[in-house]
Structure 1
Amino acid sequence: MRRRLAPLSTDVTSELALSVLDLAPVRENQTSADAVAASRELARAADRLGYHRYWVAEHHNMPAVAATNPPVLIGVLAAATERIRIGSGGVMLPNHAPLVVAEQFALLEAAFPGRIDLGIGRAPGTDPVTSWALRSGASGDEAVARFAEYVDNVVTLMSPAGAGVSVGGRTHELRATPAPLGQPPVWLLGSSDYSARLAASRGLPYVFAHHFSGSGTHEALELYRSSFVPSQDLAAPRTFLTVNVVVADTHAEAQELALPQLLAMLALRTGGQLLAQRLVESAAEVVVAESHRSLLEAMRGRWVIGDPQTAAAQVRALAATYGVDEVMVHPVAGARRDDPADRAPARERTLDLLAEALGQR
C-alpha cells in the first residue's frame, strides 16, 4: 500500500515550509556542465538551510535551460544532498511511456528512500518540432487525450502489486520494480483547471504553476479543494504555491538581479529570440520596446523581488492569500560577469536571505 500523505494545514500562522524549483538555467558564460554544477551547489545550499523539497523542471531545446531530463538530474542532486526531498516539477508525461516514468522513479525511490517526489504535467515543455522528435515523429494528440489514463498507469505500475496486462488471452504481471519498499508520492501539476479536476478526482496532491501563469491561481485551487475526493493515499486536499523570487541585501540590487530572467520571460511571451540567460551587466544594456514595457512590469509585479524583510512579508502574504503552508520559490536571480561559472551566488544568496528572514535557520 502506498504511503499515506498527511494533509497540509491552511493555518499559515504555523511554521511556513519553504521549497525550491529549479530549471538549471544556463547563462551566457556557462556550459551545460557549469549549469549542472551550479544546480548541485544550489541544492546543497537548500539542504543545509532547511528547505523542504527541491524540484527540477522538464524543458527541451531551450538555450537557457539545462533541465531536460528530470530523473537524471534528480539522481545527481539526491546523491549530492542528505535530507531534502528531490523531485520533478515536473515530468511532462505525454513525452514518455508511463512504464518508463514508473521505472525511473521507482528506482530513484529505491536508491533514496523517502526522499523522492514525482510531479507530473501535461504540457510538452518545448516547441512543436522538438515534441515531434521526442515522440519519434508520432503525434502527441493521443498522449494528451489519454493523460488521465497514463497518470493512473504510472501510479499502478509503481505500486507493490503492479498491473495486470492482458495480451494474447493471458494476463501478465507488470511492475516498475521487483520488490519496492515504498513509492514516491505523485503530484499533478498544471496551469489550467484540467489538472486541478483530475487531481481532485483521483485524490492526489496538486500544484498550480503560479510562478509561470500568475493568474487563475485562486480559481484552480478552489476547484481542486471543493471537488476533492479522499483516497487511500490522501485524506484531504494538499497543495502549495510556486513563485519567482529574488532576494538581495537591498531592493535596488534585487531589481538588478531580476532583470535577466524578466527579459528571458518577456522574449518567451512575445515570440522574441530565446538566448542563454544574460548576465546582469548585459541585461542592463537592453532597451525594452515601449510596446513590451507594460508586460515586463506586470511580470515584475507578480514576482517577489526585494530585500529580505520585504520578500519575507510578501511570501507570508502569498501563503495567507492562497491558504497554503508551503511555498516553493523559484530563485531567478541573475549572475554578474565575475561570478564563478560553476556557481550561482545570487541564487544561493536568495535562498539564504529568505530562510533567515522567515526564521528557517
Structure 2
Amino acid sequence: MTASPLALSVLDLVPVRARQTSAQAIAASLDLVRHAERLGIHRYWYAEHHNMPAVASTAPPVLIAAAASVTRMMRVGSGGVMLPNHSPLIVAEQFAALEALAPGRIDLGIGRAPGSDPVISQLLRQSGTTSEVDRFPDNVRDIIALTSPEGASVRVRSLDPEGSVYEIHATPASDASPDVWLLGSSDYSAQLAATLGLPYVFANHFAGRGLGRALDLYREQYRPSAAHPQPRTFLTANALAAPTAEEAEERALPQLRAMVRLRTNQPLRPQETVEDAVAAERGAQPLAGALMDEMRARWFVGTGADVAAGLRELAARFDLDEVMISPIGGAYAGEPLDASPDRVRTLELLTAALA
C-alpha cells in the first residue's frame, strides 16, 4: 500500500514568461526553492533544456548549486542531465563538487534524450568528443565509478599504445557520492535501470503512455546492487492547485498553449500571461483542440483537495510513495516578475492537503 503522507517533490524547468528576464525567472525559482524547503518538500530537481524562450533551466549544475546554497535539508539535483550532450567526466566532476558542497543532499538524474533539437545538440558537442547515445550504459557506469571515493581505472590506448592504466577521480578526496537515478519514458530506460541496480523515474509529465509497462519491467527485472538492494521509483506529473477550479483552469492555459506549440512545431515564445492566453482562446488565436484536450486530461489541475486526491490515486495505482510535480501555473500580468505566487501556492495547498 502507498505510504501516508505521500512524499511530494518538485521538478523545475524555470519558466520564463512575457516581459520577464532570465535573472527574474531564476530569482523566482530560488524563491520557490526556499518555500519548498519550508513546506517539507522531499527533493527539488532542475531539468535540462536548451534554446527554448520559455525555459531557463539550461545548466542544471549551476542551478543546483544555487538551490543548495539557500537550503539546509532538502535534496537537490537534476531531472535530468541529458548525457548525450556532455562528457561523462565533466558530469562526474560537476556532481562530485556538488556533493562536496551539500553532502548527502545531491541527486544526479541522468537522461538519454538530448533535450533540444539536432542543431543545438551539435553545438553542445562541437568542442570535442562527448557522450554518444549508443554508449549510454557504459557512460552511466563510468560516472558512478568516477564519483565514488575509489575512483576509476581506465586505459586510453589512443594516447598510449601500451595501454597504461590511469587512476581518475572526479574530485581529489571524495568521501561520498551523489545518488544516481535513471530517467526515461520508455522500456529501454526502465530495463537499463533494472540491469544496473539503479533508482528509476518515469517522465510522466511529458510522456504518459507506457507508464505501467515501464514500471512493471523495472520491478520484474531489477538486479539488486550494493547501494540499492531494492528497486526505488517514482514518477513526475504536471500539477496546478488554486483556491477554485475555475482559477486553476485559467492558470493552466499558458502552459497548455506552450505545449501545443512545441508539439506542433510552431514558433516558441516566452510563456503568455493568463490574460493573454485566455483572450487568445476566446478570440481569433485559439489553440484548443484534440491535442490540448489530450494533454489536459493527464494533468492534475483544480483545488488543492482535488489535485491531492488525484496524486494519491496515481501513487496508489502504481504502488509509489513519492510523486514529483512540475508546478505549471501561469501568472497574471500584475504579479511580480521575480516570484511565482501561483507555483508557491500550489505547493502550499498540496502539502496541506497531503499531510
| Normalised TM-score (structure 1) | 0.94
* Partner residue in 2 for 1:160: 149
Which one of the candidate residues 6, 22, 25 is aligned to 2:15?
Answer: 25
Matches of 2:124 and 2:44, distance apart in 1: 26
Q: CA contact under 8 A between 1:87 and 1:117: conserved in structure 2? A: yes
Q: Which residue of 1 aligns with 2:267?
A: 273
AA partner of residue 195 (structure 1): S
How do 1:86-105 residues align onto structure 2 when only pairs under 5 Å count?
Answer: 86-105=76-95
Distance 1:154 1:139 in 2: 16
Name the aligned partner's letter for residue 358 of structure 1.
Answer: L
CA deviation vs aligned residue, 1:303-336 (integer Å, no higher than 9, x gap): 0000011111101001011110000011000011
**Within 5 A, what are the aligned runs for 1:236-275?**
236-275=230-269
Aligned-residue offset at 1:295: 1.1
Structure 1: gaps of 5 or more residues? 1-10
Post-superposition offset of 1:15: 2.4
Identity %: 56
Deviation of 1:292 (Å): 5.4
Matched, 1:66 2:56: yes
Aligned to 2:191: 197
2:329 is the counterpart of 1:333 = yes
Cα separation, 1, equivalents of 2:3 and 2:337? 40
After superposing on structure 2, the runs of 4+ consecutive aligned residues of structure 1 that deviate more than 6 Å are 137-140, 288-291
Residue 88 of structure 1 aligns to a residue in which SS? strand
Give yes or no for the alignment of 1:150 onto 2:139.
yes
Q: Distance in 1 between matches of 2:49 and 2:3?
A: 36
> Are the aligned partners of 2:83 and 2:112 in contact in 1 as well (CA < 8 Å)?
yes
Q: Deviations over 1:111-140 (max 9, x none)?
A: 100111000000000111111100007798
Residues 111 and 290 of structure 1: CA distance in aligned 2, closer, same or farther (over 3 Å): closer
Q: Report deviation, 1:214.
A: 1.3
Instruction: Give distance in 1, aligned partners of 2:10 and 2:35.
Output: 11
Structure-1 separation of matches of 2:253 and 2:285: 15
What SS does the corresponding residue of 1:89 show, helix, strand or coil? strand
Is the Cα contact below 8 Å between 1:132 and 1:139 reproduced in 2? no
Where does the alignment leave 5 or more consecutive residues of structure 2 unmatched? none
> Equivalents in 2 of 1:226, 1:329: separation in Å?
26
Residue identity in the other structure for 1:72: V
Counterpart-to-counterpart distance in 1, 2:204 and 2:301: 15
Letter aligned with residue 346 of structure 2: T
TM-score of the two chains, using structure 2 as the length reference: 0.95
**Does structure 1 retain, via aligned residues, the 8 Å contact 2:153–2:165?**
yes
Say whether the 8 Å CA contact 2:87–2:129 is kept in structure 1: no
Determine if contact 2:260/2:287 at 8 Å carries over to the other structure: no
Deviation of the 1:14 alpha carbon = 3.1
